[in-house]
Each structure stands twice: as C-alpha cells, then as structure tokens.
Chain A
Amino acid sequence: MITLSHYLIVAAILFAIGLVGILRRKNLLMLFFATEMLLNAVNIGFAAVSKFYGDLTGQLFAFFIIAIAASEVAVGLGLLIIWYKRRGSIDLDTLQTMHG
C-alpha cells in the first residue's frame, strides 16, 4: 500500500537531486534545469498531500507553481541569450563583475 510518506520521500529525493544540481553546476542553463527539478519535486508533494487529505488546495498551488515556472523560463532565457551574446559563454564565473 502506497502511503503519503512514500510520495513525500520521493519528492524529497528529487528535491535533493535538484539541490545537488544547483550547488554543483557552473553552467547557467544547467542551473535553470535544476530549478525546474525543484519546482517539480514540490509539485509532487503538493499533489500527494492534496490526495491523502482530500483537499483541492494542494493541486491549485501546484497549478500556480507551473504558471510561475513558465514565466520564469521566458524571462530567464531572454536574459541568458543577452548574456551569451555579450560574453560568449554562460558560465557562472563570468557573472562576477562586481568585485568591489
């Protein structure tokens, strides 16, 4: 029998993988992919809680998270393209322009 904790454990594992990606990768495109993973892991958690407590609010919040992710991609990719046009690379280390 699959219970709520099964789903929450899977969501936690996926979230951990996404966090590893965010901390490990230096490529900005990979960082965006890792962000999408985090959002998806949270969505699984929301949907699972929504089912096992018989409440629709979790599904609605997952729906809004998907809308936010879509708009984040639109703006983020535009910024990435501008950065790549200027610097010729999307490495995170090239972003360090303000050394103080």
Chain B
Amino acid sequence: MFEAIAFYLFAALTIVMFSITVMTKNALYAMSALAAGMIFISGFFFLLDADFLGVVQIVVYTGAVMALYAFGMMFFDSTRDIKEKNPSKKVVFLLSGMTAVLLVIIVVAPIISQKVTPLYPMLENVGNAEAIGIVLFTKYLVPFEVAAVMLLVAMIAGIILASKQMDESLTLIEDEEIEKKAVQ
C-alpha cells in the first residue's frame, strides 16, 4: 500500500520535474528542476532495495554533477531567456515517443521470451552495500579500475580545457589571433 503511494508520488514528481527541465526557457530553472528530479529518482532506488545506488545518486548526481553544472553556468549568461526556433513540434514528440517505446521493447523482449536466471543472486542476511561490494571487487574488479582511470583522465581533461588561456577573453579577439597565440 505505502509502496504504491510512494511509487506513484515519485513517478508524478519526477515526470513533472523533467518536463519542466525540457520545456522551460530559463537555464537556471531547468537546472534546479533537474536537480529536484534526480533527488526523486533516488526515492525510486530506495523503493527498489538498491540503497547503495540511492545514496550514490544523491551524492554523485545531485551533489557533484549538479554542482559542476551550477559552477559551469557561471561562465554562461544563464539569466537571459533562450531563443530557439523549433520547426515542427508534433514530429519531434511523435518520433521521441516511438523511439522510446522501440528501445523498451528491444530491451524487454529477450527478458520476457526466455527464462532468466540470476548470475549474481541477492543473498539473504547480506546488506545491499555489502553485496554490491562483494560482486564489484570479485567479478567486476577490472571494469571498476577502468572506471577509476576514466574518471582521472576526465578530471585532468576538464581542468586543462577549462583553464586554457584563462588570462584573456577569447570572445573579444578573432580566431586567427588565438591560433597565432597558440603557436607562440
């Protein structure tokens, strides 16, 4: 009963928040609505007994990713409304819906058509975080290390890209001058 109430509440809130993100003209509203939607999605994870994933969703997505977006938006003019020209909305909505349904069918069809047996079953009297840790550090150790290296490379790349020629404004000079300065 409570599970159903929580599910429908989180579903409605998430859909509303993400719709605001897609539809609004203001970048700041979009970012705030997206952060709220991420928090509500962590509610889904707690409902699904994926406690570790819910905590990671709050900490990494809402804490780190949205903070990074908020920091990046300081570089952009975020208060100005975005002017966009959209040729035909109906086609876009139709195509999006059809693509989403098609993708879900592609993913679900093999699950329904054959008997699925768990590869790493959830054990009794083992907590969710502990179980994930056991599987992650025994079966998925190499992907985990690769993900760690990827995060390091992305961090260094982000620092280098954002701090490139930080001492001058690149909007006030032409492309040729930038290339000339890069050669020197």
Of residues 87 to 102 in B, which have CB atoms within 8 Å of A's CB atoms? 89, 92-93, 95-97, 99-101
Residue pair A67, B104 in contact (C-beta under 8 Å): no
Q: How large is the interface on B (under 10, 10 to 19, 20 to 34, 35 or more residues)?
A: 35 or more
Residues in B neighbouring A49, C-beta threshold 8 A: 111
Residues in A neighbouring B103, C-beta threshold 8 A: 12, 15
Residues in B neighbouring A84, C-beta threshold 8 A: 75-76, 171
A99 at the interface (CB under 8 A from B): no
A27 at the interface (CB under 8 A from B): yes
* Cross-interface CB contact of A85 among B128, B132, B157, B169, cutoff 8 Å: B169
Bitwise, B48-75 to A at CB < 8 A (1) or not (0) is 1110110011001100110011001101
Residues in B neighbouring A85, C-beta threshold 8 A: 75, 165, 169-171
Contact of A86 with B170 at beta-carbon distance under 8 Å, contacts A2-B7, A78-B161 already known: yes
Contact of A23 with B96 at beta-carbon distance under 8 Å, contacts A51-B49, A73-B65 already known: yes
Residues in B neighbouring A2, C-beta threshold 8 A: 3-4, 7, 47
Chain B positions within 8 Å of A, measured between CB atoms, are 3-4, 7, 11, 14-15, 18-19, 21-22, 27, 30-31, 34, 37-38, 41, 44-45, 47-50, 52-53, 56-57, 60-61, 64-65, 68-69, 72-73, 75-76, 82, 84-86, 89, 92-93, 95-97, 99-101, 103-104, 107-108, 111, 116, 118-122, 128, 131-132, 135-136, 140, 143, 147, 150-151, 153-155, 157-162, 164-165, 169-171, 175, 178
Chain A positions within 8 Å of B, measured between CB atoms, are 1-2, 6-8, 10-21, 23-27, 29-30, 32-34, 36-37, 40, 43-45, 47-51, 53-57, 59-60, 62-64, 66-75, 77-82, 84-88, 90
